[in-house]
Amino acid sequence: MNVAIQKLQSNLFNNIEVEVLRTDEIHLIVSGNKWFKLKYYIQDCIKKGKETLATFGGTYSNHIVATAYACKSAGLKSIGIIRGEATKFSSHTLKDAESYGMELHFVSREMFKEKEKIYNQFNKDVYWVNEGGLGALGSKGASEILLTANTSIYTHIICACGTGTMCSGLISGALPNQKVIGISILKGNNDLENVVNSLVSKNNHASYSLLHNYHFGGYAKHPLELIQWMNELHKKENLPTDIVYTSKLFYAVKDLCNTNYFTSQDKVLVIHSGGLQGNLSLPKNTLRF
- The CATH number covering residue 161 comes to 3.40.50.1100
Flag whether 286 is in a domain: no
Please give the residue range of the domain that contains residue 153.
5-28+136-281
> Which one of 99, 133, 167 terminates a domain?
133
* Structure confidence by residue, pLDDT tens digits, 105-130: 999 999 999 999 999 999 889 999 99
Whether 287 maps to a domain, the answer reads: no
Q: Are residues 236 and 263 in the same domain?
A: yes
Task: Report the C-alpha gap between 25 and 1 in whole angstroms.
Answer: 12
pLDDT score at 229: 98
State if pTM tops 0.85. yes
Q: Does residue 16 lie within any of the structural domains? A: yes
Low-confidence ranges of the chain (pLDDT < 50): none
pLDDT reported for residue 68: 98
Number of domains in the chain: 2
Residues 106 and 177 both lie in one domain: no
The reply to whether 64 and 19 lie within a common domain is: no
